[in-house]
Structure 1
Amino acid sequence: MTGVDRLHPGLVHHIVNTLGWADLRPLQAAAIEPILGGHDALLLAPTAGGKTEAAVFPALSAMADRDWSGISVLYLCPLRALLNNLHPRIAGYASWIGRTAGLWHGDTGATQRRRLRIARPDLLLTTPESLEAMLVSTLTDPRQLFADLRLVIVDEVHAFAGDDRGWHLLAVLERLSRLAGRRLQRIGLSATVGNPDQLLHWLQGANVGHRTGTVVAPDTPAGPVPQVDVTLDYVGSVDNAATVIAALHRGEKRLAFCDSRSQVEQLAFALRGRGVQTFVSHSSLAADERRQAEEAFAEARDCVIVATSTLELGVDVGDLDRVIQLDAPRTVASFLQRLGRTGRRPDTARNTLFLATKQDTLLKAAGLLTLWRDGYVEPVTPPPTPRHIVAQQLLALCLQEGRIGADIWPAWYGDLSLFDDTTPRIVDWLVATGHLDLDNGMLAIGPETERRYGRRHFMELLTVFAAAPEFTVLHGRQQIGSTDALALTIKVDGPRVIVLGGRTWKVTHVDWKRQRCYVEGTDLPGRSLWHGFLPPQSYELAQAQRRVLLGTQPDINHSHRAEQTLATLREDRASQVWDGGTVVQVVDDEHRWWTWAGRRANATLAASLPKAAVDGARLDDHMIRLRGDLTAPALRQLIDTVDTHGLPAPEIDGEAVTGLKFGEVLPADLATTTLAERAADGPAAHTVLASPFRWVTSL
């Protein structure tokens, strides 16, 4: 066996004799030297590429060889389900060298938490939110609990880095480093990303000047991706998709991805109505319901599990035969994660069947597959200017320490780019609004923070992601999951019936005060609704759809229906694309500028052009509505007046701040500025402004 000379002999023995491995995978062998050498590292491999073992085996070797004690290694995941899935496996590896692994997250009971405090495990699996809850808990002394911490493994690090949970993670790691009194080695695990070096640098956090960082990616292919079995079909509706799935691939285990909970429920209900053994997994199902479904699916054969992205991030649901995608995922990276769930058995190919339920989603899927065939993967870009997370961290640090110096935050967070020159103003604002008390130069939690976040032991303050309030759905004493208030208030004729877990439930009583909904089973048809919005498409994805309309055909299998529908789309939308640049389409009094630039770029363009050009704020991922009295020469003149070196951010309605978690504890102008800067795409807008446009009058 190669690459194991530096691993602990006890581990090597069990790798050979317990796992029966003749050799390590390339990633696992390549990761040993940098991790044992103390490097920060980013380990890249497709789904099922052995990333967990690549990080855990060297970490356990270091623990044994260097006689680390206490909680010396943290393993952080974005999902509780993934932690539940990984814990037995990692605990087994730890036991090979006489060590223990513990699990702590929001579903961990009080008794088990007490045991973990008393008998600290050597390796702790948790989430960043639970980690911060430990830091501020009155039941835990964080300086004692984390005194021996040495190394942190962050699984699915790309999922953190792409949103505010990543900034929160980095801030919590800096606080842990100060409590432990040493720099913590950081190991990130990720699927393929477009900017690995930048992602590693981001993960390293503050004061990285003297840290060594290594990207380990021996399995990452260069250039176009290898051949796999990918088929694009157009079915026109979710019910038709259920018919296709019920008829195809009988006897196989299939995982069907949908990008909304409502679509998951609609498809699962339709499949069960066609006699298909169907399981369901999404974030609004109760943890027990979700776990039982995933375990039953792992043991079954001729069945389908329908899920949102909850099953994208590495949760093991057994050996899959096929992945089915309704419509299209958000990104190429997400598609790669889903594609990687298949082809794990020898002599089987990775595969995905796309079933588009609308013409627009067929075009989006074709564009995404065009990018994939070109070898493109999106860069992971942390959201800019996370000032609201700064406010959250200042409050959380005061909770942790009781009192801190008014200017002590740089000592805790170093030069972490989370903080900028607006931080002193945020501190002043928190004091002025009563969120913090200032006494003799010391800050402490103020009455307004107690009032706003104090219930449930400040748990709302420790949760960075925003979630709309939902009603708990109960069948007797059994919790089925939760549903949006919209499903309970929208007008219906006859009994109110909701779909949850792929089954229909008649609502018998709603406890509005306690936000509980009581149900009983029924055969009546129903529906489920959740608030939500489609995330903006990127410039690259919008441009890929333009290329499809101009004739590009991704090198995959197309059904006859998909080919016919794409041909119809190209004919119907021919006046909206031009291979030389953008198009302004004039139909009656409507002027639509087809930029194919993505919603953020279009919002930036709308903010950059004078009011004389733009018709309100009506725009989407592909076009901007211009004023009906505009002429081609006038538009050219207005574009020429735009200062492309300093494009303004889009205008943001003050009410939109309610959608920014902790935006309410920022000065109003900083909150709206933060949102505006996140809604902008200056480089793509600059590209559009520099391109020619064609003026087309359609009949």
Structure 2
Amino acid sequence: MTSSTSSQFDRLADPVKRWVWTQGWTELRDVQERAIPAIMDGGDVILAARTAAGKTEAAFLPLISRIQARGASASDGFSVVYVSPLKALINDQFRRLEGLLTTCQIPIHRWHGDVSADARKRAIERPAGIVLITPESLEATLVRRGRQVERLFGRLDAFVIDELHAFIGSERGRQLQSVLNRIEVATRRERIDRIGLSATLGDMSLAAEELRPGAGQTVEIVESREGTQDILLQIRGYRHRRPPVERAENTPAAPVADEEMVQHMFSALRGKRNLLFGGSRRNVELFTDRLRESCDDQRIPNEFFAHHGNLSKAEREQVEQRLRDDPRPTTAVATSTLELGIDIGEVESVAQVGPGWSVASLRQRLGRSGRRAGKPAILRIYIPEEEYGPGLHPSDRLRLDLVQAVAMVELLIAKWCEPPRASGLHLSTLLQQTLALICQFGAVKPTSAWKVLCERGPFRSVDDALYARLLKAMATAEYPLLEMGSDKTLMLGKGGDRIVAGHDFYAVFATTEEFRVIAEGKTIGTIPIDQTLVPGQTIIFGGRRWKILSVDTRSRVLEVKASDAAIPPRFGGGFAGVHDKVAETMWSILVGTTVPAHLDTIARELLKEGRSAFREAGLDQRSISQNGSGCFVFPWVGSVKLDTFALALMSRGFEASASGHVIEVANCNTTDVLEVLREIATSAAPDGMELAKHAAKLQREKYDHLIPDELLLMAMAREHLDAASVPDLATQILKRCSGSGTESY
């Protein structure tokens, strides 16, 4: 490589250049070339590019050159802290960077729960070079070794945050922001450079704010300008006949694994290297089993292996290693566990069942295929829809899973994806960070804690008055988390000691909770709860409808009674988190006439059926449809606004339930709904906290059970609802009903 092929190559340190030459590179990738001046000159930087675009090298080639230039020694402390959301990704990056760092004579350390205590001890005793670590292990280091923070991190050149998009808007992301800030405070550094590695997002300015809260405008964004890869894609439709619902046995409906779908998967994927995203753990197990049986039937070695979070680490790593290092054909049937940047080598194609829930996720998955120059990315989306028959739910007639898949592919081709979600109060994580800060320093003043965590830190939406209320709640709990000393400093109380001593204290994210579902005193199963629940609301479980009688969040019990309503909708699109733009595009597709070329014959027929049902119901002219003794409302908005609007209707006495893309309102007619819509449209936006009071499940995050309901209501209104949108949404629905508004919004 010469200056004629790279204008920035000569800025790299000589050992780095030698390593590049040994790799046989003839040129740097676009993001690598542009990252050199951005990182060498210092400051916060985001490197944004698709999967396999060379972001890791783009960050570390100039960073290592910086370390070489200042002549860091073994007594200086760590030079770079690389933070990853996954242990497996740390292991991959260790393999990827080991040769480069050996050439440059720079130590590299792995640091997470699966690394031996001896290896971590050696790193602590002689901190130098690069450390690859999870957010939880970094938090544990601050808490357990608070007095050594300056020795370990005082001479840091930079933090590197991999998969930045995976942290945005989450509790774990807020924890990481706080930990990075606490290291800066403890080492008396105004700023330590932060380098974020990310997939390209819809709004990179929000990603910049995630990297440097309160100063996102100072972050330099280096977004790859490489030409997009060729894509071969197909959406395949299947007609699924639902088995009869036995009202005596109320067990969850079986996942969908139509034989025709399995046969096509087998013929398309066998003999190659692929990823197949099943959508849920149960689907993953079901498809893996059926595809393994197909291998047995053909008397060939099995090529299909499950990969999900409930499997042991050894089993997951075996699948990853086979994909990465073994030449035998292999298909990993996975949940979202293989979405992030774990190194699994080259795969020829990606397939998924159902439309998924975000365009960003679809883009991330697609980026796993077609990595080599001249090779297209291949994507197959399998969509089962209900066969027409007696009792089919009206919304199933619209073929919403298929329409959502078409919408997402359309947005993917248009290079759109969801912007990062705006942050909320994150009180659960703030409570945890308060305990961690006290452990780090032994004791802290309340004002100092607020300044570190809120004023300078990432919890900037929490003012000093609200923080004082949180501290008071922590101090007056049944088992006090805090105590105040005679010098007005905060110390851990008995309850705080117990929490901090727990093995899971350093993880701020909550595992998915299972609620027992009880009908007439009998447990009929358990379901994960990830939605807003309201007594009087209708839910779908075991292939039928149930009306919620009560929700006990402490005992994790959902009491229900059978509903006499019609067969429920089957919608399986994974609606939680769907963006407004996706729902808006679905409406445009249903009112349109264009048939995408990437639909197979059955998918084309299903789209035609959905459009016909859409027109027959008059939904091209209005958003409300009468159905027996109740109504359907189709606002064509994302999940947050849909849930909020359903709560707004409930607050006015209606029995409203949001499901998929529709709000079902029981025991009313369209005149009743139109009348209340006119009232809502001409009224001020409802109070978000008042709406939140209608929701039973306030405790969503790990430490919410330690926070007063009043504060949880405030957090829910901020993080999970959009009360300000209610009047405008009512206006839009009314426009469609009057025939005056046919444009999308």
TM bracket, shorter-chain basis: 0.7 to 0.9
Deviation at 1:693, TM superposition (A): 3.4
Equivalence for 2:583: 542
Equivalence for 1:567: 608
Equivalence for 1:22: 26
1:653–1:393 CA distance, 2 compared to 1 (3 A): farther
Deviation at 1:657, TM superposition (A): 3.1
Equivalence for 2:185: 178
Deviations 1:578-629 (CA, angstroms, capped at 9, x unpaired): 456x511012211111112123212222344474463244554333426515
Query: Is structure 2 residue 205 aligned with structure 1 residue 197?
Result: yes
Deviations 1:21-79 (CA, angstroms, capped at 9, x unpaired): 11111100101111111120111101101000011111111111012332120111111
* Counterpart pick for 1:273 among 293, 300, 304: 293
Distance in 2 (alpha carbons) for counterparts of 1:343 and 1:683: 43
Unaligned runs of 5+ in 1: 471-484, 488-531
Equivalence for 1:429: 473
Q: Which amino acid aligns with 1:442?
A: T
- TM-score norm. by structure 1 comes to 0.84
Distance in 1 (alpha carbons) for counterparts of 2:378 and 2:282: 25
Query: Is structure 2 residue 120 aligned with structure 1 residue 83?
Result: no
Query: Is structure 2 residue 167 aligned with structure 1 residue 160?
Result: yes
Please tell me whether the aligned partners of residues 358 and 577 of structure 2 are also in contact (alpha carbons under 8 angstroms): no
Query: Is structure 2 residue 511 aligned with structure 1 residue 467?
Result: yes
Equivalence for 1:7: 12
Q: Which amino acid aligns with 1:436?
A: L
Distance in 1 (alpha carbons) for counterparts of 2:378 and 2:272: 13
Q: Which amino acid aligns with 1:120?
A: P
1:228–1:601 CA distance, 2 compared to 1 (3 A): same
Q: Which amino acid aligns with 1:412?
A: V
- TM-score norm. by structure 2 comes to 0.79
Distance in 1 (alpha carbons) for counterparts of 2:430 and 2:234: 45
Equivalence for 1:348: 375
Please tell me whether the aligned partners of residues 585 and 695 of structure 1 are also in contact (alpha carbons under 8 angstroms): no
1:608–1:469 CA distance, 2 compared to 1 (3 A): closer
Q: Which amino acid aligns with 1:294?
A: E
Distance in 2 (alpha carbons) for counterparts of 1:375 and 1:695: 34
Distance in 2 (alpha carbons) for counterparts of 1:301 and 1:556: 33
Is the partner of 2:607 in helix, strand or coil? helix
* Counterpart pick for 1:304 among 328, 331, 336: 331
Equivalence for 1:439: 485
Deviations 1:448-481 (CA, angstroms, capped at 9, x unpaired): 1233x24xx43322111111489xxxxxxxxxxx
Deviation at 1:672, TM superposition (A): 2.6
Query: Is structure 2 residue 232 aligned with structure 1 residue 229?
Result: yes
Q: Which amino acid aligns with 2:312?
A: A
1:417–1:315 CA distance, 2 compared to 1 (3 A): closer
Equivalence for 2:714: 673
Please tell me whether the aligned partners of residues 630 and 665 of structure 2 are also in contact (alpha carbons under 8 angstroms): yes
Please tell me whether the aligned partners of residues 149 and 180 of structure 1 are also in contact (alpha carbons under 8 angstroms): no
Distance in 2 (alpha carbons) for counterparts of 1:398 and 1:564: 62
* Counterpart pick for 1:238 among 257, 273, 281: 257
1:438–1:63 CA distance, 2 compared to 1 (3 A): same
Please tell me whether the aligned partners of residues 28 and 54 of structure 1 are also in contact (alpha carbons under 8 angstroms): yes
Deviation at 1:150, TM superposition (A): 2.7
Q: Which moved more, 1:181-190 or 1:652-661?
A: 652-661
| Matching of residues 62-81 of structure 1 within 5 Å | 62-68=66-72, 69-81=76-88
Distance in 2 (alpha carbons) for counterparts of 1:116 and 1:151: 18
Distance in 1 (alpha carbons) for counterparts of 2:164 and 2:109: 21
Distance in 2 (alpha carbons) for counterparts of 1:328 and 1:533: 8
Q: Which moved more, 1:141-150 or 1:68-77?
A: 141-150
Equivalence for 1:657: 698
Deviation at 1:577, TM superposition (A): 6.4
1:649–1:230 CA distance, 2 compared to 1 (3 A): farther
1:54–1:174 CA distance, 2 compared to 1 (3 A): same
Please tell me whether the aligned partners of residues 539 and 597 of structure 1 are also in contact (alpha carbons under 8 angstroms): yes
Distance in 1 (alpha carbons) for counterparts of 2:294 and 2:203: 44
1:628–1:636 CA distance, 2 compared to 1 (3 A): same
Distance in 2 (alpha carbons) for counterparts of 1:665 and 1:486: 24
Equivalence for 2:36: 32
1:619–1:564 CA distance, 2 compared to 1 (3 A): closer
Please tell me whether the aligned partners of residues 613 and 627 of structure 1 are also in contact (alpha carbons under 8 angstroms): no
Equivalence for 2:130: 123
* Counterpart pick for 2:311 among 274, 285, 288: 285
Please tell me whether the aligned partners of residues 650 and 677 of structure 1 are also in contact (alpha carbons under 8 angstroms): no
| Matching of residues 440-459 of structure 1 within 5 Å | 440=486, 441-451=488-498, 453-454=499-500, 457-459=501-503
Distance in 2 (alpha carbons) for counterparts of 1:571 and 1:534: 23
Please tell me whether the aligned partners of residues 685 and 724 of structure 2 are also in contact (alpha carbons under 8 angstroms): no
Please tell me whether the aligned partners of residues 45 and 196 of structure 2 are also in contact (alpha carbons under 8 angstroms): yes
Is the partner of 1:408 in helix, strand or coil? helix
Is the partner of 2:9 in helix, strand or coil? coil
1:588–1:695 CA distance, 2 compared to 1 (3 A): farther
1:411–1:585 CA distance, 2 compared to 1 (3 A): closer
Please tell me whether the aligned partners of residues 649 and 679 of structure 1 are also in contact (alpha carbons under 8 angstroms): no
Please tell me whether the aligned partners of residues 366 and 554 of structure 1 are also in contact (alpha carbons under 8 angstroms): no
Deviations 1:260-289 (CA, angstroms, capped at 9, x unpaired): 212111111111011041122111111111
Query: Is structure 2 residue 606 aligned with structure 1 residue 590?
Result: no
Distance in 1 (alpha carbons) for counterparts of 2:264 and 2:690: 45
Equivalence for 1:495: none
Equivalence for 1:398: 438
Deviations 1:504-560 (CA, angstroms, capped at 9, x unpaired): xxxxxxxxxxxxxxxxxxxxxxxxxxxx98524222222222222223557451110
Distance in 1 (alpha carbons) for counterparts of 2:413 and 2:595: 7
Equivalence for 1:621: 661
1:11–1:310 CA distance, 2 compared to 1 (3 A): same
* Counterpart pick for 1:217 among 223, 236, 239: 223
* Counterpart pick for 2:343 among 316, 338, 358: 316
Deviation at 1:315, TM superposition (A): 1.0
Deviation at 1:689, TM superposition (A): 2.2
Distance in 1 (alpha carbons) for counterparts of 2:711 and 2:158: 36
Deviation at 1:118, TM superposition (A): 2.0
1:637–1:279 CA distance, 2 compared to 1 (3 A): closer
Distance in 1 (alpha carbons) for counterparts of 2:351 and 2:420: 25
Distance in 2 (alpha carbons) for counterparts of 1:10 and 1:639: 67
Equivalence for 1:694: 737
Q: Which amino acid aligns with 1:260?
A: S
Please tell me whether the aligned partners of residues 435 and 492 of structure 2 are also in contact (alpha carbons under 8 angstroms): yes
CA-atom RMSD in angstroms: 2.7
Q: Which amino acid aligns with 1:152?
A: F
Deviations 1:230-289 (CA, angstroms, capped at 9, x unpaired): 100013442433221111244221111122212111111111011041122111111111
1:139–1:369 CA distance, 2 compared to 1 (3 A): same
1:137–1:10 CA distance, 2 compared to 1 (3 A): same
Is the partner of 1:265 in helix, strand or coil? helix
Is the partner of 1:400 in helix, strand or coil? helix
1:254–1:683 CA distance, 2 compared to 1 (3 A): farther
Q: Which amino acid aligns with 1:445?
A: L
Equivalence for 1:47: 51
